[in-house]
Structure 1
Amino acid sequence: MSDNDRSTELKRASTRARNRWVVWGIVGVVLVVAAFGAWIAVRALQAKAELEAAQALMSELEAQGLAFDVYGAEATLEEIADHTDKAIELTSDPVWRVGEIIPVAGVNLAAFRELAALTGSVIDRVVSPLLEAAEGINPETLAPTAGVIDLGPLIAAGPAVAEASEGAADALKAVEAIDTSGTIEQLAAARARIAELLTDITPLLLRLDSTVPLLPAMLGSDAPRTYVVMFQNPAESRALGGAALSFAVLKVDGGKIDLESTAAAAVDFGKYDEPVVAMPDGAREVHGGSYGTSIADTTLRPSFAAASEITREIWFRHFGYWIDGVVSIDPVALSYVVGATEPITLSTGDVLTRESLVPLLLNEVYQRYSSADLVANNVAQDAVYGEAVSAMFTRLTSDLIDPGALLEALKLGWQEHRLLYWSAHPDEQAQLAEFGLHGEFPVSDASTDRVGVYFQDHVGAKLNFYLKQTVHLAKNNCRADGRESYRVTVDLQNGIDPVAASTLAPAIVGNSVMEGVRIGFQRMIVMLYAPPGSTIVARAVDGTAIGMDALHDTTYPVSRIVVTIPPGGVTTASFDIVAASPGSRALEALVTPMVNPTTVLDEALECGG
C-alpha cells in the first residue's frame, strides 16, 4: 500500500471514529434528557399523588375540627403532614430545580414546587397551632366544673392563636406571589383554592388573635366582673328584639360564675322624666319619649351598645354600682340552650325542653295566670319566669350539659342576633367591634346595600307570639342617573283565630282596650332604616300610598309606618328607596328577631310598577 493510500485509509478511520463518538454522544444526550425527563415525570407523579392524598384528608380534618375531635384531628394532621413533606422532598431536589429553567415545562414545575411548599407551611404554621389552641379552647375544657371555668387552657391558647394568625397572613402573601398564568389548568385551580381558603380564614384569625386574649379578663382572671343579663321578650317586640322586662346579675371571679340576684322592670325600676344619657341625633324623634327614660324600653332603638349604655346608667342610679357589661338573650335562644341538656322540671310541674320553653314562657303562663287581680297575675308569671332562669343557670354550671351541643346552641343564638354582648371596658368593646358586633345598625359596603327592617308592638301586649313576618327585597336599575331603585315590602300575618280572640288573657291583650284597639288585633310599628346617603321616596300600606315622614337616626334615613292586623288577616307595608350612588349592588336586610322566624325573599322590581 502506498503512502497516499495509507494516509487516506487513516483519514477514513479517523472520520469513522469521530462519527461513532458523535452518534454515541447524541445517544448519550438523548439518554440523559430522557432520564432527566423520566426522573422529573416520575417524581411529579409521586408528588401529585402525595398532594392529592393530603387534600383528600383535609375534609376529614375539617369535620374533626368542627366536631372538636382534637385527638382524631391530630392523627389526621400527622398523615397530611407526612404526605406534604414527601411532596416537598420530591419537588425540591437539584434535578427538579434545573427543570424549572426549561421553557413551558419550567413554569409548571416552579409553580408545583411553590404550591407544595406553601401547603406544608400552612400545615406547620396555621393548622398545627390551631389544633394546639383547640386543646385549650373547646367545649369540654371550657365547660364549668362545679360552677367554675378553668381559665388556664384559655390563657395558654393565646400564643397558639397568634402563631396561626401570623402564619395565615404570611401564607396569603406567599400564595398571591405564585404566578400560575402560564401553567396548566390544574395548577391554577389549586392555587385559587388555597388563595380562597386563606382569604377567608386570615381575617378571622386576625380577629381571634385580638379577642382570645380578652376572654380570661372577661371571665374575671384579673379582677371580679359584674354583668347584667337582659331577657328580651319578643312576644312584645321592640326593634332590637323584645321589651326588656327581666334581668339577672352575674358575678364572675376567676372563672367562677354566680347568679347573684334578679330584677323585674315593672317592680324594681321607675321612669325618668329625661333620658339618662345623651340621645344620638334624630333618635328621640324616631323612638319617642320612652327611649332613654325607661329600662324596659332600652331596646326600642336597634343598637345594643346604646341599650347597654342606658341600662348601665339606670343600674347605677338604682343600685349604686357600675356593671362591667350586658348580655342579652331571649326565650328562643334559651330554648336552644335547653336542647343541649336533659329536660328541666319546674316546681309548677312544667317541663322545659327545646320545644316547650318558648310557648310556656311567652304564652301559656299568661293564659294560666289571668285572674282579675293583675298584680297577682304578674307576680305568678314572674315567679315561673324567674324559676326557669334560675334552673337554666344551675344546669349551665353543672356537669349535666353537653358542651358541644351548648356551643352549637350559643352559636345559633348569636347568628340569629338573639344572643348579644356589650362590654363597658372601651378596649374590649373596640376589639369586639373589630370581630363584628351583632345588634347594631346594618352596614353597607361597595358590593351590598343593607337595610334594617324593625318591628315594635304598639299596644303594650304579648300578641306578637302569634305574628308571622315575610320581607320581600326587590331591586332594579330604572333611573337615568344609574342609581338603583329598591323596594322593601313587609307582610305581617296575625295568626290569632278570630273566634278565639275573646278568650285571650288580659296579660296577652295588654293595653288594647285603653289604646282603642279591638281585642286580638295587632297594632305594629314597622320601621325601615335605609343605607346612609340613600333616599326613601315612597311608602304604602296594602298598596295604597301614604304620606312621607322625614326622620333620621344619625346618618340613616328612617321611616315608620303604623299598621293594624286583624285576627287571621295580613297587612302589607312597603318602602321605596333610591340608592346613594350609581352602580349595581346586592340588597340584604337585617330584621328584628321575632318569636317566629322571618322569611326573607329576593324578587325582581318592575320599573313601571
Structure 2
Amino acid sequence: MWAPWSPVAVATADPTVRPPRRFLPERWDRAGWARLVLSVVGGVVLVCGVVLAWQGVRAAILLQRASDASQVLLAQVAQGDADGARRTAEVLEDAARRSHDSTDGPLWAVASWLPVVGDDVDAVRVVSREVDRVATRAVPTVVDVTAQVGLDAFSPRDGRVDIANLESVAPRLGAPRRALDEAARNVGDIRPEDVVGRLQVPVRRLQDVLTGAASAARVADTAATLLPDMLGAQERRRYLLLIQNNAEVRSLGGIPGSWAVIEADRGRVRMTEQGSAIDVPPVDDPRLAVPASQYGAVPVSAAEDLRNTTSVPDFPEAARFAGSLVGEATDTRFDGVVSVDPVTLGYLLQGLGPVTLGDGTRLTSENAVDELLNGVYRRYTTDPLAQDAVFEDAARSIFDAFVGGRGATQPVLEALVRAAVDNRVMVWSADRSEQRRIRTTGVSGVLSQDADRARVGVFVDDSKGSKLQYYLETSHTLTSSRCVDDRSQELTLRTRLSSVVPRSGLPVSITGFRLPGLSATDQRLSVRVVAPAGGVLQQVRLGDVDRQPVGGRLGDRRVTVVPLTLRAGESVDLTVTMRTGDGQTDDPVLTSTPGIRAEPNDVRVRSACG
C-alpha cells in the first residue's frame, strides 16, 4: 500500500493534480512553534483580560448601586417604612445577585492569585458574595419584621414595653444576625486603600453599612431574646441606674455621682428611689473586694467608695461593686446595673425634645452637657445638695419622657445606638445566662481577655476630686510599627492630654479643694494603659522622661498606671510601647475613656503584619 500523496505517487500520478496545501511549512523549528504558542496564549490572555475588565466594571457599578440601596434600606427600616423597604430590598437583591454572578467562576478565582490585580479581584469577589448573602439571607427577614412590628417593639409607650411583640420577633432575628456578622467580618478584612480607586468608595461605604447593620442586628437579637425576662415577664426586676459625671473623670467615663432604682414588672417600667454619691458613704468592710491579683492595676477603693467603682475599666466588675455598695446602703438586691452619662442624655434629647427642670433650667440636646457638667456648679457654687437635685431632676425628667414614648422612635433609638458605639451605655445582668449574651454586644463594657486580637486600653482618672475635666481635651493614637516573626506586633500608643482650664474665675465647686503643691486650676490625673492579653509593656515615656512601667494585671493583661499633673493651658504627651501576645497579628483595637466630646471608640488600626 502507498499513500496517494507520497512522493512516489506524486511522481507517477497526473501532473495536473496538486497535493493539498500544508498549513505549516515542512520544516518548523522550535522558534516557530514557540511563536505560535505565545500568540495563542497571548490571544487567550487578552480575551480573558477584556472579559475580566468588562465584568469588573459591571461589578463595580452594581456594587455602587447595592451600596446606595443598602443605605436607603437602613433608613426605611429605621423609619418603619415596610413598603418602601420591600421595593428597595428588590433593587438591592438584584444588584447583589448580578454582581455576584459577574464575579463568580474559574476566571475570577484564577485572577485573584495574580500579582498586582489579585487584591482588587479578590476584594470584588468577597464583597459581591457577602452582599448577595445579606440580600438573600438577612434582608427579607428584617423587612418582614419591620412590617410586623417595626421599631416600636423595642421602645416603651405609656411607661410600658409590649413584651408580646418582642417574643413574637425574637425567633426570627438569629439568622439575619449570623449572616450580617459573617458578612461584616469578611468585608471588614478588606483594606480599601489596597484596591483600585474606583472600588474604594463603594467598599468603604459597604463596610460601614455592614458594620452598623451587624451591630444593630446583634443588639436587636439580644434585646428581643433577653428583654422579656429582664423587663419582668416572669418576676419583677430591680435595676440600678448610674449616671456618670464626665467632669470628674474615671476610666469608664466619670464618677457615678447620681443613681436611681428602676423597677420592671411585666413590661411596665418606672423609676422609684433616687440618690447621689453622698447618700452612699464609703465603707471600710465592703461585701465585695478588689481581688489581690488586681492590686496596683485598680485602686482598692473601687470596692469601697461608689465614686471610684468606675475606676475599674471593666464594667461587669464595676457594676458588681456599685450594685453591692448602693444595695447595702438601701437594703436592695439588684438584678442588674445600667450606666449612662450626660452626653447620652443629650443624645436622647435630640429625639425626645427639651425638658424643663424644677429650677427653671431648660435642657436641650445642645446645652445638656454644658449645663449638667459645668453650669450647675457655677449656679450652685456652695450647695452640693442643690447640685445633686439638678442631676436627679434631669435623670427623672428624661427617663419619664423616654418611657412615656415622647418623640419619634427612630431618633431615640439612634441616640442609644450612638451612645453605645461611644461606650457610654453599658449593661450588666446578675443572671449569668443573660450576662453571657450581653457580653457579645456593644453595651457590655467588658475589658476583653481575647487572646486572638490585640486590644489596647487607655483610661484616665481624676485624683483630685475636682470637676476640671470639663476642660480636658484628649487624643489617642495607636500604631503598629513592626511585625515580629509573623507572630506578634510592636505597638506604640501616643496620648496627648491638654488643659483648657481658665486661669481664674472658677468656683471651688469646680476646682475642688486645693491640695499641697497644686494650684487651684491644676489637674491631678492618672493614666491607666492596658496592654493586649499576653502582651508586654516595653517603655513608658512622659514628655521627655522615661518612666518605669508600674502597675499590675487585669486578668491576662498587664497594666501600667502613670500619675501626672496637668497645669492650665498645658499639654502633656505620654508614649507607651508594647509587644502583643503571640498570634496577635490581626488589626489591633484601641479603647479609651469616653469624655465630654463625641470621639471614636474601639478604633481598629492597621496591623504591620499585613
Q: Shared topology, TM-score over 0.5?
A: yes
Distance in 2 (alpha carbons) for counterparts of 1:83 and 1:482: 40
Letter in 2 for 1:217: D
2:495 is aligned with 1:495? no
Distance in 1 (alpha carbons) for counterparts of 2:182 and 2:481: 41
* Cα distance change on mapping 1:418 and 1:136 into 2, 3 Å: farther
* Cα distance change on mapping 1:400 and 1:316 into 2, 3 Å: closer
Distance in 2 (alpha carbons) for counterparts of 1:493 and 1:194: 36
Q: What SS does structure 1 have at the residue aligned with 2:241?
A: strand
Q: What SS does structure 1 have at the residue aligned with 2:295?
A: helix
Give per-residue Cα distances to partners, 1:65-93, cap 9 Å, x unaligned: 344322321344467789999x9xxx9xx
Deviation of 1:431 after TM superposition, in Å, equals 1.4
* Cα distance change on mapping 1:203 and 1:288 into 2, 3 Å: closer
Aligned to 2:545: 544
2:267 is aligned with 1:246? no
Letter in 2 for 1:486: L
Distance in 1 (alpha carbons) for counterparts of 2:447 and 2:183: 34
Deviation of 1:409 after TM superposition, in Å, equals 0.4
Aligned to 1:415: 421
Aligned to 2:353: 342
Aligned to 2:301: 290
Within-5 A mapping of 1:15-34: none
Q: What SS does structure 2 have at the residue aligned with 1:567?
A: coil
Q: Is the 8 A contact 2:423 2:442 kept in 1?
A: no
2:445 is aligned with 1:433? no
Within-5 A mapping of 1:172-187: none
Q: What SS does structure 2 have at the residue aligned with 1:439?
A: coil
Deviates more, 1:214-223 or 1:135-144: 135-144
Deviation of 1:344 after TM superposition, in Å, equals 1.6
Within-5 A mapping of 1:401-480: 401-443=407-449, 446=452, 448-477=453-482
Letter in 2 for 1:575: V
2:576 is aligned with 1:571? no
Distance in 1 (alpha carbons) for counterparts of 2:131 and 2:309: 50
Deviation of 1:204 after TM superposition, in Å, equals 8.0
The TM-score with structure 1 as length reference comes to 0.73
Q: What SS does structure 2 have at the residue aligned with 1:144?
A: coil
Alignment partner of 1:394 out of 394, 400, 409: 400
Over aligned residue pairs, what C-alpha RMSD do you find?
4.2
Deviation of 1:599 after TM superposition, in Å, equals 7.5
Aligned to 2:337: 326
Aligned to 2:522: 521
2:508 is aligned with 1:506? yes
* Cα distance change on mapping 1:579 and 1:342 into 2, 3 Å: closer
Letter in 1 for 2:589: E
Distance in 2 (alpha carbons) for counterparts of 1:582 and 1:142: 40
Aligned to 1:179: none
* Cα distance change on mapping 1:550 and 1:348 into 2, 3 Å: closer
Alignment partner of 1:385 out of 370, 374, 391: 391
Aligned to 1:274: 285
* Cα distance change on mapping 1:596 and 1:126 into 2, 3 Å: closer
Deviation of 1:289 after TM superposition, in Å, equals 3.1
Give per-residue Cα distances to partners, 1:76-120, cap 9 Å, x unaligned: 4467789999x9xxx9xxxxxxxx9xx99xx9xxxxxxxx99999
Letter in 1 for 2:495: V
Q: Is the 8 A contact 1:472 1:602 kept in 2?
A: no
Aligned to 1:315: 326
* Cα distance change on mapping 1:489 and 1:256 into 2, 3 Å: same
Letter in 2 for 1:262: Q
Q: Is the 8 A contact 2:499 2:568 kept in 1?
A: yes
2:172 is aligned with 1:160? yes
* Cα distance change on mapping 1:79 and 1:461 into 2, 3 Å: closer
Deviates more, 1:203-212 or 1:588-597: 203-212
Q: What SS does structure 2 have at the residue aligned with 1:531?
A: strand
Q: Is the 8 A contact 2:423 2:443 kept in 1?
A: no
Within-5 A mapping of 1:225-264: 225-264=237-276
Q: What SS does structure 2 have at the residue aligned with 1:586?
A: coil
Aligned to 2:363: 352
Q: What SS does structure 1 have at the residue aligned with 2:84?
A: helix
Letter in 1 for 2:418: L
* Cα distance change on mapping 1:208 and 1:280 into 2, 3 Å: farther
Give per-residue Cα distances to partners, 1:387-442, cap 9 Å, x unaligned: 11121122112343121100110001100011111111111111112335542214
The structure with more radius of gyration: 1
Letter in 1 for 2:514: S
Distance in 1 (alpha carbons) for counterparts of 2:299 and 2:270: 37
Distance in 2 (alpha carbons) for counterparts of 1:351 and 1:384: 11
* Cα distance change on mapping 1:83 and 1:363 into 2, 3 Å: closer
Deviation of 1:309 after TM superposition, in Å, equals 1.1
Aligned to 2:123: none
Q: What SS does structure 2 have at the residue aligned with 1:395?
A: helix
Aligned to 1:133: 145
Distance in 1 (alpha carbons) for counterparts of 2:292 and 2:390: 40
Q: What SS does structure 1 have at the residue aligned with 2:392?
A: helix
Deviation of 1:311 after TM superposition, in Å, equals 2.1
Q: What SS does structure 2 have at the residue aligned with 1:149?
A: coil
Alignment partner of 1:74 out of 86, 95, 103: 86
Within-5 A mapping of 1:587-606: 587-597=588-598
* Cα distance change on mapping 1:599 and 1:524 into 2, 3 Å: farther
Q: Is the 8 A contact 1:465 1:596 kept in 2?
A: no
Deviation of 1:605 after TM superposition, in Å, equals 13
Letter in 2 for 1:459: K
Aligned to 2:3: none
Distance in 2 (alpha carbons) for counterparts of 1:142 and 1:577: 43
Aligned to 1:554: 555
* Cα distance change on mapping 1:393 and 1:603 into 2, 3 Å: closer
Give per-residue Cα distances to partners, 1:493-528, cap 9 Å, x unaligned: 000122x2xx21111111333x54211011110110
* Cα distance change on mapping 1:599 and 1:216 into 2, 3 Å: closer
Q: What SS does structure 1 have at the residue aligned with 2:581?
A: strand
Give per-residue Cα distances to partners, 1:298-338, cap 9 Å, x unaligned: 11110110111112222332222311111100001110001
Q: Is the 8 A contact 1:527 1:559 kept in 2?
A: yes
Q: What SS does structure 2 have at the residue aligned with 1:271?
A: coil
Distance in 1 (alpha carbons) for counterparts of 2:227 and 2:348: 21
Q: What SS does structure 1 have at the residue aligned with 2:578?
A: strand
* Cα distance change on mapping 1:593 and 1:201 into 2, 3 Å: closer
Give per-residue Cα distances to partners, 1:190-227, cap 9 Å, x unaligned: xxx99999999889868865652222111222222111
Deviation of 1:584 after TM superposition, in Å, equals 4.8
Q: Is the 8 A contact 1:136 1:153 kept in 2?
A: no
Distance in 2 (alpha carbons) for counterparts of 1:352 and 1:519: 29
Deviation of 1:151 after TM superposition, in Å, equals 2.0
Distance in 2 (alpha carbons) for counterparts of 1:304 and 1:387: 25
Q: Is the 8 A contact 2:530 2:560 kept in 1?
A: yes
Identity %: 26
Q: What SS does structure 2 have at the residue aligned with 1:291?
A: helix
* Cα distance change on mapping 1:167 and 1:291 into 2, 3 Å: closer
Distance in 1 (alpha carbons) for counterparts of 2:377 and 2:208: 52
Q: What SS does structure 2 have at the residue aligned with 1:299?
A: helix
Equivalent residue pairs, number: 506
* Cα distance change on mapping 1:526 and 1:392 into 2, 3 Å: same
Where structure 2 has 5 or more consecutive residues not aligned to the other structure, the ranges are 1-54, 111-127, 185-204
Q: What SS does structure 1 have at the residue aligned with 2:478?
A: strand
Letter in 1 for 2:498: Q
Aligned to 1:265: 277
Deviation of 1:281 after TM superposition, in Å, equals 4.5
